[in-house]
Structure 1
């Protein structure tokens, strides 16, 4: 069993085994007793490998919640950055470990660490992996919906590029800007390229501009296969005006922005209207 675990540890790592300490190894493999023994023996919980990966990074990559808690309680730096600028919260969000994300946030991890040319935010990472529960928690903690990654754009762009419809819904309902653009390319362009019918419908209902043109002067429908469900859907929206009801909902949501869900729930109006405004 130990051989199998050690082999798993090698896969996808940067550098070789010798570059990591026993603390790194125990954290990665979830060996709680061993990690506790090492800490009690005076081993540093903030020791870094050649690639600046800390034991806390290692534990988060594998979603080893017990090790994450143990390391933090022993003084591990919650926002340590590896060579790519990623924090443990980025790693936990990417891994989809809701428990690790909760523990890190409870210990003061920044939901919005400063981005670099090589770094995505924890919210970007959660969207990339389609981890909608982590997305919900990060958004509730104040993660920026418009954090901008140089490669993809906003978290909404990332969710659309990676075909993560559940994450798209969470972001939009939280108030993410549906028509944010990277080089004139909107989330709807990505949804159309990926032929994601449900995602396309969701984006349009939240106010996506079906006529938006990217740097190639192409509309979302231009990226679909003629006659496909996605193309038919976009063609329908291009030729059918929005209802007054839908226009009113978009106007209210735009006015309220990211506070929409909280404010709408407090309005003294029929529950049916509240449900409509909240896309329930």
Structure 2
């Protein structure tokens, strides 16, 4: 019975391979009473299926909070990896279960697990599903804003591709690099492809480069349809000089990054810029 303290986990090292078990099924379905009985009867909480999915993966994927708690208390490996390299925290972020994410972090789950060539970070997964509360929690725990996935780019790329404006806002306010590029494509390119005026507005306010060219030598504006709100906003940004307030905001953000106080108002920004220029 594996209910004691868990030992460090290494991929493929648990040594108890089987098809999907009753423990997996109970965890997936949220059958807490059945899961408790299985654990008390000596069932392993770290048994893995042929794809390396553990019961904890199953419970997190479905947001089964009670089952996650039972498994963790029984010694489930919090950093176990499935065949794709995803941890239970990745699954919890994908499902959007804030309580599961909190439990996992409390039990030592890493907000920044080591990434493989095929692995997205927990922050990527939260952005993929538009789970902004999970994004906020991960950011507060020091999740890497610039974690890079070869298929998706940074979490900000993912949030823009999926058109999750609230996640975009959280990332930008935390200091994510607005002009990060994957194959020369910036988050603004993705927002333009989606014709997402709200995301485009957020990116431009945080200093997105409207002139950036991707691997096809196309700017964000080239991906919009003429006459649409997103196209008009991008063209207006290109043809209109930034105001002092906008310049002040960008200056503060560029210099302070995530330390820039969120309480700064537009009325204060010009004074802050003048103060900065005078004393730096």
TM-score by length of 1: 0.87
CA deviation string 1:61-95 (max 9, x = no partner):
10000100110010001010000000000000000
SS of residue in 1 equivalent to 2:76: coil
Contact 2:245–2:266 (Cα < 8 Å) also in 1: no
Equivalent residue, structure 1, for 2:74: 74
Q: Does 1:238 align with 2:233?
A: no
Match of 1:34 in 2: 34
Query: Whole-Å Cα distance in 2 between the matches of residues 270 and 62 of structure 1?
Result: 41
Q: Which residue of 2 aligns with 1:25?
A: 25
Conserved? CA contact 2:57–2:87, under 8 Å: yes
How far apart, CA to CA, are the structure 1 residues paired with 2:167 and 2:265?
A: 28
- Tell me if 1:164 matches 2:197: no
Q: Which segments of structure 1 move beyond 6 Å, counting only runs of 4 or more?
A: none
Secondary structure at 1:89's aligned position in 2?
Answer: helix
Query: Equivalent residues in 2 for 1:1-280 (5 A)?
Result: 19-261=19-261, 273=268
- Provide the C-alpha distance between the structure 2 equivalents of 1:201 and 1:252, rounded to a whole number of angstroms: 18
Are residues 159 and 37 of structure 1, via their aligned partners in 2, closer, same or farther at CA, if it must alter by over 3 Å?
same
Give the CA deviation at 1:271. Answer: 10
Q: Distance in 1 between matches of 2:181 and 2:227?
A: 27
Cα offset for 1:259? 2.2
Q: Secondary structure at the match of 1:34?
A: helix
Distance 1:109 1:78 in 2: 6
Kindly tell me the number of residue pairs found equivalent between the two proteins: 254
Aligned CA RMSD, in angstroms, stands at 1.8
Instruction: Give the corresponding residue for 2:5.
Output: none
Matched position secondary structure for 2:86: coil
1:235 and 1:249 map into 2 onto residues whose CA distance is 21
Report how far residue 132 of structure 1 moved: 0.5
Q: Distance in 2 between matches of 1:133 and 1:27?
A: 24
Q: In structure 1, what is the Cα distance between the partners aligned to 2:231 and 2:246?
A: 22
Q: Distance in 2 between matches of 1:122 and 1:259?
A: 23
Report what 1:7 is aligned to: none
Aligned mates of 1:167, 1:143 — CA distance in 2: 14
Distance (whole Å) between structure 1 residues aligned to residue 55 and residue 260 of structure 2: 40
Q: How many Å apart are 1:270 and its aligned residue?
A: 8.4
- 1:204-229 per-residue CA deviation (whole Å, 9 max, x = no partner) reads 00100001111111110000001111
In structure 2, do the counterparts of structure 1 residues 185 and 271 end up closer, same or farther at CA, with 3 Å as the change threshold? Answer: closer
The verdict on how the C-alpha distance between 1:23 and 1:270 changes in structure 2, with shifts beyond 3 A counting, is closer
5+ unaligned residues in a row in structure 1: which ranges?
A: 1-17
**Residue 272 and residue 66 in structure 1: after superposition, are their counterparts in 2 closer, same or farther (change >3 A)?**
farther
For residues 160-182 of structure 1, give each alpha carbon's deviation from its aligned partner in whole angstroms, at most 9, with x where no partner exists: 00111110000000100000001
Q: Structure 2, unaligned stretches of length 5 or more? A: 1-17, 273-280
Query: 2 CA distance for matches of 1:158 and 1:259?
Result: 23
Please, what TM-score do these two structures have when normalized by structure 2? Answer: 0.87
